[in-house]
Structure 1
Amino acid sequence: MSGECSICLTAFKDPVSIPCGHVYCTKCLADHVNAPGNNDLRSTCPTCRRPFNTVTPDLTYLHKKYHEYVVPSVRRIYFDNPAQVDVKMKLAVAEAKIKKLQKEQEVLMRQCERHIAAAGAHAAGEQQAKLKADNLAERLSNIEREHKNEKLGAVLNLMNIEEQRDVLNTKYQKLKQRVHDLEMNSRLNDSMVSTSSSHGQRLHKMPSSLRIDTSMSAGPSRHAEAPAVASNSSASRPIRPLPRAAREKVRAQARRISPPPIFREPAKRPRLSEPLVAVGWALQEEPDDASLWNGHYSLRGRRISRAG
């Protein structure tokens, strides 16, 4: 039996069977039975023209023992249509695939959500790392700038210190020469004073007759007047500097013997009315072999008391 209705030539929709065995759609058979001009309680099969009753007696008016013999002419039947079976099988397969795809889609959605969250976290971390790198680069540039400024300041300070050193060395050399001149003048004065005093003592020890004879025999010469002049005017005799060659020799010897300068904190400035004190203060400011202790000065190992 084919799965199509012989009236509508389509697949069966609510199929029913008549006593001859032919099957039709319920709507198609109802249209055939209720066709215009068919007012009888009987109808014929559209295929084989076999008559069948269209009315079923009411069982309420029959005895129960006859109920099993009353069979309706039109009966609903149920059968499997091969086309529908194929469609149902395909539909079941499609539904299974859809469910599988839905599950896979859910898994993919969860994976996509995880990947999106990881990508967002990575982007945030990358942004933070970029900001941190920018901050570190800025700090590094600031540190390099500060280092350059400090280096430039150190170079400038070194240049200033070198200039001050040159100035101080010049002052030191001048003070050293001044001290040397003062020392030489002091030695010269001491030698002259000692010479004049010894010569006067010798004249005083000589007899008066000898001194008169000597003066008379010498006559008005320059040698006879020299002791008297030396004894009377030794204190007012002018101090003459050493020759240039002697001064250069003494300076060279002082340079070889003198130690390097030692810089100390400047002492309290003394009064200028005391010349030796002023010289000692200058020596303490730029000391080489001279220093100041409790108002006394030491020049090249010699102790000299403060004037005044």
Structure 2
Amino acid sequence: MPTCIVCLETLKNPAALPCGHVFCYDCVIRLVRSVNPYTPNHFCPTCKQPYTILNVDPNLIPHHLRHHVTPAVRKLNLEYAVPLPMKTSATNAECAHLLAENASLKNCCVVWRKRAAVHATATMAFVGLARLARDYGMKMKKERDELEEKYNELKRLYDEKT
């Protein structure tokens, strides 16, 4: 059975991106909504090919061209047969092994998502600190330039008096 690489489950309500990769429709929508700040441009989780979620008003498209315009995220109707389970203990053991491996991979995904969030938070903190340092440096440079102007003016006045 086909599986979604986002949720690692059997495809539920499949949807295809323009590049041809298929995911659960809810997974695609969740990925689109998770991007902050909102943007209509996104990338396929598999091949990183860009796609847009903007929809064109059909009334603006000439009637003879409407069948050529399709949405970026297209719902699919996939029919696939569920394989009959074999009644051997080797198959059951292999299935149990694969289920355990799948659960382990899901746990790893959760851990890596948390690590990515921590890394992003730390990176954003360093970026904020760098901005503060840059702003403070620019303020100090401006202050130095003003004091240097005052010094030069006072030096000029002193030289004129002497």
**Taking structure 2 as the reference length, what is the TM-score of the superposition?**
0.47
Between 1 and 2, higher relative CO (CA 8 Å, sep ≥ 6) is seen in: 2
How high is the TM-score relative to the length of structure 1?
0.26
Larger helix percent: 1
